[in-house]
Every structure is written in C-alpha cells, then in structure tokens.
Amino acid sequence: MFEALLQTLGLSAFSLQGFGPLLLEGSWMTVKLSILSLLLSVLLGLLGASAKLSSLKLLRIPAQLYTTLIRGVPDLVLMLLIFYSLQTWLTSFTVAMEWEYIEINPFGAGVITLGFIYGAYFTETFRGAILAVPRGQMEAATAYGLSRAQRFRFVVFPQMMRFALPGIGNNWMVILKATALVSIIGLADLVKAAQDAGKSTYQLFFFLVLAALIYLLITSASNVVLRWLEQHYAAGSREAVR
C-alpha cells in the first residue's frame, strides 16, 4: 500500500525496496518494549511512592536514594551499566553455584533496565499526585469503614490519577524516545531496522527520516489517547474559566 502511494506521488525513487516488513517489525519491537517498560515502571513508581510516603525510615531512605541516584545519572549510562552488569553478575552467580551458563534475553534485560530507570521518575510523579489528594478524602473513607486496600482502590487512586496524568504522559513520551537507545545495547528496534535498511540500500537519509516519522506518528497517537484519558479522569472537577 505504501509502495503504491509512493508510486502515485511520483516518488518511486524512494521505495522501501522490500524493507517494509523489517521496519514494521522494528516499530512493533519499539512499541512492545515501551509498553512493557511503562507497566514495570508504573508498578515500581507506585511502590516507590508509597515507600517514600511511608512513616518507616527503613522504607523512606532507600526510596529517596533510588530516586536521587537514578534521576541524577543519564539513562544511557544506566542502561549500559545495568545491562552489561546484569550478565556479568548472573554469570559469576551461576559459576559460583556450579550451574549451567545462562544468557540473559536482551529483550527482557531491556525491559527491566528501562522499567527500573523510569520507575524512579514515576515515583516522584505518583508521590506528588498522592500528596495532591486532599487529606479529608482519606479521612472520610476511613470514617466510612473502608479497608486500606479499598481506600486506595476507590478513593485515592481515581483522584490521584487526575494529578498524575500530565506526569504520566510526559514520562511515557520520554520512555518512548528512550527506547531509541536500546539499539545501542543490541536490540533490533526501529532505529536498528532503519539503519540496516539504509545501509544496504545506500538510502540512509530516507530510511532514518522514515523512522523519525514513525516515531512522530506514535507520539502523536499517544497524545490523542492522553488527552482522552485526561478528560476521563477530570470528571467531576472544573477548570477555571480562562
């Protein structure tokens, strides 16, 4: 279909030359990686935020250390550090236990690495959002006899989401753009596909611009979804008339 479109536009010099499926696979890899790391980092973020707001010092200090250290170091450095060290540690562990050599699946390692890094950013987002929910809400829920889990699920979470959504959207965009770096640690994502296709057809510029446009498509689509979500969670709140 894309080929036919190029033909009709008179741009047949810019043909995909059979690299369409490769690019599609790369895009799917990018999307898959971003979504899985988003889920992991949201989970870590919720845990981190509750640890940071906990009354126990034993939980607060590690959480504080986690967010400060991870957010102070560039994601690419952490990616290389964690990705390569994971394998080294696992190898020395298996040698010590006299097990067989286990090679880490690069995709899994990529998800764990990205999830761990952006978990720190989500911790801060969720901490701010939980603090933004008025205290009275929590007290009222307690007065109604809701349990801890029920208070979070039915009272705090739906209200927190409204405050957290702009931050979540921001972090999602950052994760999506950070996945472009995983080709450096050897994953076959969109950037890698575009580079391979460009190098073998001598049309590197065309394929890289195409990859950039695919990223633009994904970010624009997520913008639409985020706007919808923001409207959904803004139910019952009014913005000041401007």
Residues that bind other proteins in the complex, under the rule CB under 8 A: 69, 72-78, 80-81, 84-85, 88, 176-181, 184, 191, 195, 198, 202-205, 208-209, 211-212, 215-216, 219-220
Nearer to other proteins, 133 or 191 (CB): 191
DSSP letters for the chain: -HHHHHHHTT-GGG--TT-HHHHHHHHHHHHHHHHHHHHHHHHHHHHHHHHHT-S-HHHHHHHHHHHHHHHHS-HHHHHHHHHHHHHHHHHHHHHHTT----PPPHHHHHHHHHHHHHHHHHHHHHHHHHHHS-HHHHHHHHHTT--HHHIIIIIIHHHHHHHHHHHHHHHHHHHHHHGGGGGGGT---HHHHHHHHHHHHT-HHHHHHHHHHHHHHHHHHHHHHHHHHHHHHTTT--PPP-
Q: How far is the CB of 9 from other proteins (least distance, A)?
A: 20
Nearer to other proteins, 75 or 164 (CB): 75
Nearer to other proteins, 115 or 133 (CB): 115
Nearer to other proteins, 45 or 75 (CB): 75
